[in-house]
Amino acid sequence: MSGKYLLDSNIVIASLSSDAGVLKRIEDADEYFISATVLGEMFFGALHSANSSKNLDRLEDFVSVAGFLSCDISTARHYGQIKALLRRKGKPIPENDIWIAASAMQHSLTLATRDRHFDDVDGLQLSLW
C-alpha cells in the first residue's frame, strides 16, 4: 500500500506496540508524517506511563524517522472550516482530532486512524488501519 499518510495517535501507539499490520502499512507507505498535535498527545502519554523513560526514548526514535508537521495559519484556517462544518452537522469530534484532520487536509495526506468519527469530516481522505 503506497501513499502519503498522516498517522493518528492510535496508529503511532500501535506501531510502538509492534502491531505487525500497522508496521507493514508504515513500511509500505511512500511517506508518513506525524503532526504537532499527535506528538503532544504521545509525549503526554509517555510521561504518564509506568515506563516513561523507555517510552520517551521509543517515541524519540519514532519521531526521528517520521516527517513532522507543525501548525501554522493555514492549519488554523482548515481547523476553523472543519469545526464550523461539524457544528452545522451536529457531529462534534474531540478538539485535538479537528487539528489532526486540519493537518491532513492542509498537506493533502491520507489520515491513517482507527477512529470512525473522522468519517464526518467532509473531504478528509481516510484509511482505517
DSSP per residue, 47-113 = HTSTTHHHHHHHHHHHHHHSEEE---HHHHHHHHHHHHHHHHHT----HHHHHHHHHHHHTT-EEEE
- Domain tally, the chain: 1
Ordered strands of the 67-69 beta sheet? 67-69, 31-35, 4-7, 110-113, 126-128
pLDDT in tens, 99-121: 999 999 999 999 999 999 999 99
Q: Which amino acid is at 59?
A: L
Q: Rounded to the nearest 5°, which phi and psi values hold at 105?
A: -70, -40
CATH number at residue 57: 3.40.50.1010
Please determine, for residue 2, whether its predicted confidence score (pLDDT) is greater than 80: no
Domain that holds residue 91: 4-128
Tell me the pTM: 0.94
| Cell numbers at 51, concatenated | 515506563
pLDDT in tens, 60-95: 999 999 999 999 999 999 999 999 999 999 999 999
Please determine, for residue 1, whether its predicted confidence score (pLDDT) is greater than 70: no
